[in-house]
Copies of this chain bind each other. A is one copy, B any other.
Amino acid sequence: ALPFVFISGPCQIESREHAFKIASFLKAATDKAGIPFIFKGSYDKANRTSLSGQRGIGIDEGLKVLGEVRDEFGCPVLTDIHDIEQTRIAAKVVDIIQIPAFLSRQTDLLLAAGETGAVINVKKGQFLAPWDMANVASKIASTSNENILLCDRGTSFGYNTLVSDFRGLPIMSQTGYPVVFDATHSVQEPGGRGGSSGGKRDYATALARAALAVGAAAIFAEAHDDPDNAPSDGPNMLPLEWVEPFLADLKAIDEVAKSRKTGYGF
């Protein structure tokens, strides 16, 4: 089996310089660990908890930076889109189009994404069961685009809290599409700070190990050089200094999991 892929980057593309700094660090760390790397960055945070949350650099500038990151570091790049027009524009630049969790049931957006021919990483809505993702994937696959990733970023559990149900990974794998575990958003506390989301990054790393032990194909985890002052998702992003030891452990877990025995269930 192939080793797991690490999808990482800052929550927002804050500037060309900042994106390059993070990408450079992550590319070196993943190269050192022997792990495939995909750079993730958002040009717009379209569903902030409150209006005062910072939105982002915008699609034109954001896609320009993403293209430059790919050229400079030789890694695929991923961004999330929020409507059909953005999807078509972004697909001209990025390798992977990401459908946000809140939009995972919007049929026209899924179809438009599929039709671009890009790889589509669709996040499971916090309001969906793992088995509901087969219907979501079918919408995309109806465009004859089978380059689909299914991503778990947590499920609603009471108010302002998510829980990661690891039964969901083998359930989603039964579609035949690779399953991604989004470790940093899974520990978000949505709206938990009143006007913004909270989170507990300490648990993200433990959950990422769990996801690989279960059999995830990729780990998604946002990282930042100064998460406590980041414009979004600060409480759950990983500081860069965590990345190297974290990746080493992930790789060791993944090697065991990918060579696991047969004959006993999932």
Interface pair A187/B167, CB less than 8 Å apart: yes
Tell me if A73 counts as interface (CB < 8 A to partner B): no
Interface pair B135/A49, CB less than 8 Å apart: yes
What residues on B are CB-neighbors of A266 within 8 Å? 202-203, 205-206
Interface pair B245/A252, CB less than 8 Å apart: no
What residues on B are CB-neighbors of A88 within 8 Å? none
Q: Which of A51-76 contact B (CB under 8 A)?
A: 51, 55
Nearest-CB distance from A6 to chain B (Å)? 14
Interface pair A202/B165, CB less than 8 Å apart: no
| Known contacts A102-B125, A125-B127, A191-B135; A170 and B206 CB within 8 A of each other | yes
**In the assembly, what is the distance between CA of A101 and CA of B191, in Å?**
16
**In the assembly, what is the distance between CA of A55 and CA of B139, in Å?**
13
> How many residues from A make CB contacts under 8 Å with B?
79
Tell me if A262 counts as interface (CB < 8 A to partner B): yes
Copy count, this protein chain: 4
Q: Which of A201-255 contact B (CB under 8 A)?
A: 201-207, 209-215, 238, 241-243, 245-246, 248-249, 252-253
**In the assembly, what is the distance between CA of A167 and CA of B242, in Å?**
18
Tell me if A126 counts as interface (CB < 8 A to partner B): yes
What residues on B are CB-neighbors of A191 within 8 Å? 128-129, 131-132, 135
The stretch among A10-18, A24-32, A115-123, A152-160 that forms the contact with chain B is: A152-160
Nearest 8 interchain pairs by C-beta = A158-B158, A245-B261, A213-B213, A129-B159, A210-B210, A242-B264, A156-B156, A202-B265
Q: List 7 A-B pairs, Cβ < 8 Å.
A: A47-B107, A157-B159, A158-B161, A159-B161, A202-B266, A245-B263, A245-B264
